[in-house]
Amino acid sequence: MKIQPKAPKIPHVRSVHGEAVQDDWFYLRDRENPGTIPYLVAENQYTEAVTEGSRALEQELYDEMVARLQESDESVPCRRGDWFYYSRTEKGKQYPILCRKRSSTAPEQVILDCNRLAEGHPYFAIAFDLVSPDGKTLAFAVNTDGAEVYTLRFKNLGSGEIHPDSVEGVYYSAAWAADSRTFFYTTLDDTKRPWRLWRHTLGAGTPDVLVFEEPDARFNVSIERTRSGQFLLLGVDSHTTSEIRYLEADKPAGEFRLMSPRRQNVEYYVEHQGENFYIRTNENGRNFRLLRTPVSKPAVENWREVLTHRMDVSLERVDGFANHLVVTQRANGLKQLHITDTATGAQHFVEFDEPAYALSSEPNEEYETSEFRFAYSSLVTPRSVFDYDMKSRHRQLKKRFAVHGGYDLNNYASERIVATAADGTQIPVSLVYRKGFERHGGNPAYLYGYGSYGITTDAAFSQERVSLLDRGFVFAIAHIRGSGDLGRYWYEAGKLLHKKNTFTDFIACADHLIAEGYASAEKLAIAGGSAGGLLMGAVTNLRPELFRVVVAHVPFVDVVNTMLDETLPLTVTEYEEWGNPNEAAYYEYIRSYAPYENVEARAYPNLLVTAGLNDPRVPYWEPAKWVAKLRDRRTDANVIALKTNMGAGHAGPSGRYEKLKEKAFEYAFVISRMNAGAETGD
C-alpha cells in the first residue's frame, strides 16, 4: 500500500498590510526541526513507491539516452596564445577532463581531471577554470554540495602542483591581470550576493586586497578581462541598472575608473576594440542601441551612436576583435549575427535557414583573428560548431556532435506557429515532432515554458528529447512574455505588475495546441523549472483541467513569503523582477498569483516536483510546502511525487550520467501517468 506522506500542521500566522494568513507548513523552512528531514525522506520513499511500476520504462529510456551519447568525445580545440585548449570525456566517467596541446600532433597535457577532483563527493561543480596569460598557472574554483559557494585554488601547470594559496566563499566571476600573478575574484555576503571584489597576488603570502564593495543589496559585482587583454572591467548591476569601471590590465594595483555613474533603469555594458570602447545601452531605447567612445576620452559626452534603437530588434551581445565587431541581435524571436569590418565600415549578416534555431558564441579567445566561432542547433539539428571567416564570409563546420542510436534528422520536422493571448498578443510556439505526425488531437504533447528575467528559450537540440518524439510526442516551447524571446519590451510586459501575462500567455499556447489538433488535455504534459516552476504552479491553479501531467523542477512557488524575507538569497535583488511585497500594491498582486497562496480544494493534475536540499536559489522548503498543501487540499486521486535531491542544489545532480537518469525518471513519469488511470495513494 502506498501511503501518502502527511506533513504535520503547525500554525504560523503572517500579518502583512492588515491581512493575517495562516501558514501551516512554515516550519519546513527549518531543516533542524525534527519533522523536516523525515518528511523529505518520506516523500522520497513515496515517490519511489508510486513510480515503481515505471521502473522498466525508466531504464529503457536511460539506455536509449546513453546509446545516443558519444561517451568518449572532445570539444573543438580553442586557441589561446601558444596553446590549443579543449575538454574531453571518457566512457563511464561523469565529468570532463580539461586539456591542452601545443599543436594537433603535440602530446596532450591534462590541466584538470574533474573526475579525480570529484572522487568521494556526491556533487561536483567548477565555477571557472582560467589559465594565466603566460600559460603557466590555472585558477579554478570548486564546489561539492550544490550550494554554489566555491573554493579558489591555483595549479602550477609546469609541475602539476597545487599552490598552497586558497580562498573560500568565491563566486563565478574572476579574471587574471596581464602580469599572470594578480588575480581578481568576487565573494558573497550573508545572502549569497556577490558584493566584494578582491585582488590576490599569487605566492606573495600577503592578505588579499579589497578592491571594491557594493553596499546596495540590489546590485551584484562582477569582473572580466576584455578579449583584447588590455582592460579589466568591473561590473555592478541590478535587474534594471548597471555601471562599469575599467582598469588597464597591466596596472592591476591601480584604481578602477568609472565609465558612467549608475542611473536608475539605465543599463550599459562595455566591450573594447581597437582605439574605442563600444557601449551597449538601453538608455533612450529599451531594446538597446550601440555607441562608441575613444579609449583616450571615454566620458559620456564623447559617446557616439553606431547602431540606432529599433523597436523590433534587440541587441544582446557585442564581441570585439582586432578588425571586426560582431553584434548578436534578435529579430522575430531569432538570433542574428551582424558583422562590421571596423577598418572599411563594411557590414553584413550571417544567414540561417531553419524556421527556429539556437545560436551562441563559442569561446573566442583570440583577439588578432578574422575568425568568429559560434555554435548552432535547432530542434532537429544537433549542436554544430562553425568557424566563420569575417573577411571571406565563409563558414566551416568544425564539428557536429554525434547522436547515435539511429538518429536521422531527416525523420523529424520543426515549425513555428502563433497562439493568440487573452489581450490579442501573438505568442510564438516552436514545435518539433517525428514526420508522419497527424493533427487529430490524440497525440501526447510536452509543452515547456519559462518566461522570467528576460531569459531567452531558443529552439535548441536535445538528444534526450528524441525518446519522446519517437514515442509520438509533440514537443513545444512557448515563447511567452516575461522572457527575452522577442526583445526587451517582451520581457517587461511579463514582469512586476504585468507578471500574469506570462501565465495567461502559456495557457493560450496550450489552448492553441489543443484547438489545432496538436494535443488534447488528456495527453498534455507541461514542464518548467525555477521561475518556470512558478509558471507551472500558477497555470495549474488557473486551469488544472487543461493538463494531464505537470513537471515542476525546483519551483519558485512560495513567492510571497520568500520575497518578504530579506535575509534569504536573491530576495532584495529580485524586487526589480517581482516587486517588493512590503509595498501593498505588490503584495496584493503577488498574493493573487503565488502558487502556494492559491492552492484550493479542487482536482489537480499528476505532478512531479523536484527540490535540492542545498539549493541557494529556490530553497527546498518551497516545493516541500507546496506539495504538503496540495496533499491537504486537493480532491483528486492523481499522483503527486516530490523528489528531493539530498546532496545537490538548484541544478540537480552534477554528473552527466546522473543527469540522464533524472531525465529518464521524468520522462517515465510523464509517459506512465498519461497512460494510467487515476491512482489513489492511500
Q: Which long-range contacts (CB under 8 A, 24 or more apart) does 156-160 make?
A: 157/109, 157/111, 157/131
Residue 584 CB neighbours (<10 A) = 12
Neighbours of 52 (CB within 10 A): 11
- Cα 587 from chain centroid? 27
What number of CA atoms fall less than 13 Å from residue 613's CA on the CB side? Answer: 19
Q: Enumerate residues 6+ apart whose C-beta is below 8 A from 103.
A: 84
Give me the helices (H) in 69-201, please: 114-118
Letter for the amino acid at 483?
A: S
Q: Are 318 and 326 in contact (CB under 8 A)?
A: yes
**Can 650 be counted among the known catalytic residues?**
yes
How many Cβ atoms are within 10 Å of 313's Cβ, its own excluded? 19
Query: What are the residues facing 338 on neighbouring strands?
Result: 327, 349
113, 117, 199: which is closest to 150 by C-alpha? 117
Alpha-carbon distance 583 to 662, whole Å?
40
Which residue among the candidates 530, 553, 558, 654 is catalytic per the annotation? Answer: 530
Contacts of residue 63, Cβ cutoff 8 Å, sequence gap at least 6: none
The region, left, alpha or beta by phi > 0 then psi within -120 to 50, assigned to residue 81 is left
DSSP state of 8: P
**In whole angstroms, what is the distance from residue 623 CA to residue 415 CA?**
34
Q: How far is CA 374 from CA 177, 253, 336, 402, in A?
A: 26, 35, 11, 17
Q: Which of 314, 650, 654, 672 is catalytic?
A: 650
Longest dimension (CA), the chain: 76
CA angle 240, 242, 248 (to 5 degrees): 165
Tell me if residue 628 falls in helix, strand or coil: helix
Cell 579609449: give the residue. Answer: 295
Select from 74, 79, 69 the least CA-distant residue to 399. 74
| CA dist list (Å): 250 to 196, 232, 514 | 21, 9, 61
Q: Which residues are CB-neighbours of 439 under 8 A, at least 6 positions away? A: 516, 517, 518
Identify the bridge partners of residue 183 per DSSP, sorted by sequence position. 176, 200
Q: How far apart are CA 177 and CA 183, in angstroms?
A: 6
Active site residue 505: no
Cα–Cα distance measured from residue 373 to residue 73, given in angstroms and rounded to the nearest whole number: 19
356 φ/ψ angles, rounded to the nearest 5 degrees: -150, 140
Overall size of the chain counted in residues:
682
530 part of the active site: yes
Count of alpha carbons within 13 angstroms of residue 374, beta-carbon side:
24
23, 319, 458, 615: the catalytic one is 615
Cα distances (Å, whole numbers) of residue 529 to 415, 520, 536: 24, 23, 8
- Cα 570 to Cα 460: distance, rounded to the nearest angstrom: 28
Q: Which three cell numbers stand for residue 439?
A: 493533427
Looking at residue 39, its amino acid is Y
115 — phi, psi (to 5°)? Answer: -65, -40
Amino acid letter for position 127: A
Q: How far is CA 432 from CA 179, 224, 357, 380, in A?
A: 50, 38, 11, 7
State the catalytic residues: 530, 615, 650
